[in-house]
């Protein structure tokens, strides 16, 4: 086996051994009519989990074309999730509390 082939095989094996990106869960807390954190960077395939720690309901929805979603009414203590399948920047708001904003960067 030539040195070039050996190095090529080692490179392929290294790539195969690397964990795949995506599939992580990132938590966003809703508290005091705000998202915490207010900005987050995730990878394609990651899931954002919204935890409502307020004593009232929220309704998260995308304000970004191409990333449309509406998670509907989320009561106190409820958890809602959404998985992102392509890269971009997503602006998220609450349909009930219009001063709530979250920016998700999907890489």
Q: How many CB atoms lie within 10 A of CB 58?
A: 24
Give the pLDDT score at 20. Answer: 52
Please say whether the beta carbons of 61 and 47 come within 8 A.
no
User: Binning pLDDT at 50, 70 and 90, where does residue 5 land?
Assistant: low
The per-residue b/e assignment along 76-102, b for 16 or more CB within 10 angstroms, e otherwise, is eeeebebebeeeeebebbbeebeebeb
Give the pLDDT score at 39. Answer: 98
Which fold does the domain 21-106 belong to in CATH? Immunoglobulin-like (2.60.40)
Residues 87-106: what's their mean pLDDT?
Answer: 97
The ranges assigned to domains in the chain are 21-106
Question: What is this structure's pTM?
Answer: 0.78
């Amino acid at each position: 086996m030539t040195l070039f082939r050996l190095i090529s095989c080692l490179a392929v094996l290294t790539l195969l051994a690397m964990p795949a990106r995506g599939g992580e869960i990132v938590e966003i807390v809703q508290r005091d009519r705000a998202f915490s954190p207010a900005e987050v960077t995730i990878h394609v395939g990651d899931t954002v989990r919204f935890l409502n720690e307020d004593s009232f309901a929220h309704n998260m929805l995308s304000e970004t074309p191409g990333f449309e979603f509406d998670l509907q009414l989320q009561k106190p203590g409820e958890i809602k999730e959404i998985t992102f399948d392509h890269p971009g920047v997503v602006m998220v708001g609450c349909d009930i509390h219009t001063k709530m904003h979250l920016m998700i960067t999907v890489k």
